Amino acid sequence: MRDRSLWIGFLVALGLGLSIALTQQQEVDPYKEAERQRELFRQTAGILPGELYAAQGEELFAQKRGPKNASLEACDFGLGPGKLEGALTQLPRYFADTRRVEDLETRIVSCMVNLQGFRPQDIKREDVKALTAFVASKSTEMPINVVPRSSQEIAMYNLGRELWYHRAGDRDMNCAICHDSYAGGKVRLSPVRSPRQGLSNEWPAYRFEADKLYTLEDRIAFCYESVGIHPPEYYSEPMIALSIYMLAEATKGKNKFTELPGFTR
Amino acid sequence: MKTRYFVGLMAMLLVGLTLSQQSPFQQRVQQAINSGGNKFAETMKQDRDQALCSQYRDKLPPEEVGAFLERQRALIKYPADGKLMGDWKQGEALFTNPRKGNCYACHTGDPKEAGAGRMGPGLVGYGQRGTSEPVVKYTYDKIYNAWASMPCSLMYRAGYHGILTPEETAHVTAFLLDPASPVNAKR
């Protein structure tokens, strides 16, 4: 454990250096730049930051923790207890035990509460992120397969679509303005994709510009912040609704996940 | 059983109607927004026309357009001295500043500015249309409230939201129209 934290500290410092170097250049192709940064990490550290987070998550997953002194190995992500292969590809989905539609992050929290006995307020966000990285790594490059079927899932998808078009804030923004009207174009230097084009298929990912692991909820929060809207709380309905909407649309567009955790700007 | 169910349903409907005019689905959306926390719910509040744009996915039906434009036009305020063209140099700073105009996010302006966005039409050479009163007013109005000429435009209403004051709007107008501005430099 301690070794790994040291490693992450080192990589964080390295990443900072790289991203500072990056901001001094102008008009670089963001995809080529991500590829270059990734190679730099491979060569200098021999491992990608996302892989380190996933390894940390794997340890947390197997460890007996919490008031009930249990591991998360019995956690059911929708394919049966402990079945992790491809688990992310079908999330968010409805879970009868919690009677909620849950995304990967929310499901991890539910298992930490129900299996390990943690109180929600005692759960560390960093732990959830590492666990998300680990579970997601078992769906690397797999086709996305989110098809709302139960009434709860369909309702959540409809909520997500509504939020997607909800114009608000002093920038009069909604997600569709950038990600639909303008899909294929650029906001400043960033190319923008639509859900059908596979938006959201690279998360959780290490963002080298921020030098942090971002989950899909973190990425949604980031877009809200950038248009002056205070992001919804983690694990709340708006987060899950937007996630199921985007991933169901990405499924219709026949998209796959990238390498997970992803590596991006 | 059936009648009780029916009475219950009617009661719920009535409560719903008296509390607000929202449809059950809209109420459900509001409930979901509230579950995202107070600060989120606060910033997600909509004015009437933001709600209308959302409802119609930013494409208003023709019968809504007239009244919409009317309402938006009524929101435009002008500088006390009545001058709609200010100082282009101050306008340039406001145009560029991400916390103020942030116009480069969507428009080219001064062609020397690298990495300008292209969601909006290019504005290089915008001043070619001259500085007649209608042109100045059109430009000022567009910047102050883009929705007063284009319902649900993806360009936000900078003046209406107080991101630019009327005086600042006049400066940005000058940045686009003043022949001395780099936007209109001879090439």
Q: In this complex, do B33 and A163 lie within 8 Å of one another by their Cβ atoms?
A: yes
Question: pLDDT category, B8, cuts 50, 70, 90?
Answer: low
- Residue A151 pairs in a beta bridge with none
Determine, for residues A230 and B156 on separate chains, whether the beta-carbon distance falls below 8 Å: no
Share of chain B above pLDDT 70, in %: 88
d(CA B180, CA B171): 13
Among A172, A179, A227, most B C-beta atoms within 10 A, so best to mutate, is A172
The nearest CA of chain A is from the CA of B158 a distance in Å of 8
Whether residue A22 lies inside any domain: the answer is no
pLDDT beyond 60 at A64:
yes
Inside any domain, residue A17: no
Q: What are phi and psi of A256, to 5 degrees?
A: -110, 160
Its domain, for residue A161, covers 151-264
For chain B, the residues whose C-beta falls within 8 A of a C-beta of chain A are 25, 28-29, 32-33, 35-37, 39-40, 42-46, 50, 53-54, 57-58, 104-106, 114-119, 147, 152, 154, 156-157, 161-163
What domain count does chain A have? 2
Q: Are residues A175 and A254 in the same domain?
A: yes
What pLDDT score was predicted for residue A12?
A: 39
Neighbours of B138 (CB within 10 A): 15
Element (H, E) at A153: helix A151-164
Q: In the annotation, is A75 catalytic?
A: no
Tokens for A139, please give them. Answer: 């769906």
Asked if the structure places residue A39 within a domain, the reply is no
- Burial call B151-172: b when 16+ CB within 10 Å, e when fewer: bbbbbbbbbbeebbebebbbbb
Residues A186 and A245 in one domain: yes
| Residues B88-184, CATH architecture | Orthogonal Bundle (1.10)
- The answer on pLDDT for A17 being more than 80 is no
Q: Is residue A166 part of a domain?
A: yes
Q: What beta strand segments (E) does A23-181 contain?
A: 93-95, 100-102
Q: Tens digit of pLDDT for each residue in B128-154?
A: 999 999 999 999 999 999 999 999 999
pLDDT, residue A5, reads 41
- Name the average pLDDT for chain B: 90
Contact A239 B36 (CB under 8 A): yes
Contact status, residue B59 vs residue A180, Cβ threshold 8 Å? no
In a shared domain, residues A126 and A194: no
A157 and A204 fall within a common domain:
yes
Full-model pTM? 0.88
Chain A residues with beta carbon closer than 8 angstroms to that of B32: 159, 163, 237-238, 241
pLDDT of residue A34: 84
Q: What's A165's domain CATH number? A: 1.10.760.10
Cα–Cα distance for residue pair B7/B182, rounded to 1 Å: 70
Quick one: tokens of A98?
């919690």
Distance CA B22, CA B147 (A): 24
Domain definitions of chain B by residue range: 88-184
Q: What are the pLDDT digits (tens) for A20-60?
A: 333 333 456 777 888 888 888 888 888 888 999 999 999 99
Q: What is the DSSP string of A36-65?
A: HHHHHHHHHHSS-HHHHHHHHHHHHHHS-B
pLDDT value at residue A189: 62
